[in-house]
Amino acid sequence: MNGAKQPLKSLDDALTQLLGYAEPLTGVEQVSTFAADGRVLMCDVVSALQVPPHDNSSMDGYAVRCADLADLKQPLPVSQRIAAGSAGSALAPMSVARIFTGAPMPAGADAVVMQEDCVVQPDGQVLVQVAPQPGQWLRRAGEDILLGAKILSKGERLTPASLGLAASIGMNQLSVARCPRVALFSSGDELVMPGDVPAEQMQPGALYNSNRFFLRALLQRMGCEVSDLGIVPDRFEATVAALQDAAQQHDLILTSGGVSVGEEDHIKPAVQSLGQLDLWQIAMKPGKPFAYGRVADAHFIGLPGNPVSSFVTFLLLVRPFLLRLQGVFDVAPKFIAVNTHFTMARADKRREFLRAKRNAAGGLDVFANQSSGVLTSAVWGDGLVDNPAGCTIAAGDSVRFIPFSELLA
């Protein structure tokens, strides 16, 4: 299909359609909690205990019964010593218990006095100097996690904090979605691999393959198992064979280049001969041309060749697609509102994703050259300004900003 006369598709429509194809992968993997960072949970995690398991002290000091301290001038004997990891006994009346952070409260005690507010007398008795409030310096049993509480949900992407939370209820293994297996190809006769030809010997028209480097790194950050198949040979039969082979063992075949309108390219006819290919023209800048197709049971996604277009379409379309394959429901990147410190006097017909950077004054600066071939903009920037079609930007305007930290995690 030649997309020359196709109407532009909105990014939201393109994403909705793409996510509609992203049937979550079947198969569950049991992994050590240590190894589960960034993986997606395949079942809810419900707690069989409460955390903390018992009321405990949040200070080094003395566990007391507040009613025993009506007269602050009267020192009280220390009837027991309770360190973290040991359990005390009921607090004897008119006495205090030496207690340390994390140690369980003895029965009968209703507050902790920090040691800085006490004076130990020569005979070892303790004079409390500040009247305690019932409940002070206590951590209540179950204040973090109640018995039976759902602490993590199916479809949630695990973070370092969630691994700690799972460990806090004793989970040393977690059920997660398997990693998407992705075959990565580059297309374009002009492409040369760094290392193959020294810079001074590059032929006119030749270009180092930069997309391969950031696409592989992006896929790895998304938890994919990547087969990097390099630059596919520039022959129809060889391309068909490579695609057929890749489709057997991969969930997704990802390529860059060769999806522009009207371009003669060997990947396009090869995908079309094996399965189906839709060429989309998306109303976004950078990143207008985009392809989705299927080869046997594998998904096929063709990204534009221009490096920034490839980078941005990966972040805004492929990333959510890969998350959905792993069972994540909420895949939309979160934006923040930031005030610009720049002006964009010329409105574009397409929704633009400008490479921008937060400055020390809390505002946003924009990279001067927003060309889709200028990869420097993506390194200089720390996120994308999502500027609606037809909109200019004046200094001080509040814009939608999606930090790369949100998109690269």
Binding site for ligand AMP (CB under 6 A): 186, 188, 190-191, 207, 209-212, 256-258, 260, 263, 304-307
47 binds, among Mg ion, ligand AMP, none (CB under 5 to 8 A by kind): none
- C-beta of 257 vs 320, nearer to ligand AMP: 257
Residue 256-275 contact track with Mg ion, rule CB under 5 A, x = bound: -xx-----------------
Asked if 204 and 307 touch (Cβ cutoff 8 Å), the reply is: no
Instruction: Indicate the residue whose CB is closest to ligand AMP.
Output: 305
- C-beta of 236 vs 329, nearer to Mg ion: 236
132 binds, among ligand AMP, Mg ion, none (CB under 5 to 8 A by kind): none
Least separation in angstroms between CB 170 and Mg ion: 54
With CB under 5 A as the rule, give the number of residues binding Mg ion. Answer: 4
The residue among 9, 7, 54, 59 whose CA lies nearest residue 292 is 9
The distance of Cα 108 from the centroid of its chain, to the nearest Å, equals: 46
Least separation in angstroms between CB 239 and ligand AMP: 14
The residue among 114, 76, 70 whose CA lies nearest residue 95 is 76
H runs (alpha helix) in 278-407: 307-313, 319-325, 376-380, 404-407
Under DSSP, is residue 323 helix (H, G, I), strand (E, B) or coil? helix
Q: Return d(Cα 304, Cα 328) in angstroms, integer.
A: 26
Q: Return d(Cα 81, Cα 126) in angstroms, integer.
A: 13
Least separation in angstroms between CB 3 and Mg ion: 15
- The dihedral built from the CA positions of residue 246, 238, 271 and 10, taken in this order, carries a sign that is positive
Q: Return d(Cα 401, Cα 341) in angstroms, integer.
A: 13
Least separation in angstroms between CB 59 and ligand AMP: 59
190 binds, among ligand AMP, Mg ion, none (CB under 5 to 8 A by kind): ligand AMP
Residue 169-188 contact track with Mg ion, rule CB under 5 A, x = bound: -------------------x
Q: Return d(Cα 390, Cα 367) in angstroms, integer.
A: 20
293 binds, among ligand AMP, Mg ion, none (CB under 5 to 8 A by kind): none
- C-beta of 3 vs 188, nearer to Mg ion: 188
275 binds, among Mg ion, ligand AMP, none (CB under 5 to 8 A by kind): none
Least separation in angstroms between CB 315 and ligand AMP: 17
245 binds, among Mg ion, ligand AMP, none (CB under 5 to 8 A by kind): none
Rg (CA), the chain: 30
65 binds, among Mg ion, ligand AMP, none (CB under 5 to 8 A by kind): none
H runs (alpha helix) in 22-86: none
Q: Return d(Cα 403, Cα 355) in angstroms, integer.
A: 10
Q: Return d(Cα 78, Cα 229) in angstroms, integer.
A: 72
Least separation in angstroms between CB 257 and ligand AMP: 3
Q: Return d(Cα 101, Cα 130) in angstroms, integer.
A: 19
The answer to the question of residue 88 lying near Mg ion (CB under 5 A) is no
The distance of Cα 28 from the centroid of its chain, to the nearest Å, equals: 20
287 binds, among Mg ion, ligand AMP, none (CB under 5 to 8 A by kind): none
H runs (alpha helix) in 222-363: 236-249, 267-274, 307-313, 319-325
Stretches 39-47, 192-200, 255-263, 317-325: which one binds Mg ion (CB under 5 A)?
255-263
Least separation in angstroms between CB 236 and Mg ion: 16
Least separation in angstroms between CB 286 and ligand AMP: 11
What letter does residue 408 receive in the DSSP assignment? -
How many helices and strands in the chain, by DSSP H and E?
9, 26
Least separation in angstroms between CB 248 and ligand AMP: 24
191 binds, among Mg ion, ligand AMP, none (CB under 5 to 8 A by kind): ligand AMP
- C-beta of 116 vs 190, nearer to ligand AMP: 190
Say what angle helices 236-249 and 267-274 make with each other, to 10 degrees: 60
Least separation in angstroms between CB 7 and ligand AMP: 20
- C-beta of 209 vs 370, nearer to ligand AMP: 209
104 binds, among Mg ion, ligand AMP, none (CB under 5 to 8 A by kind): none
The torsion defined by the Cα of 367, 370, 371 and 376, in degrees rounded to 10, comes to 30
Q: Looking at the DSSP assignment, which residues form a beta bridge with residue 81? A: 98
| Residues in touch with Mg ion (CB under 5 A) | 188, 257-258, 305
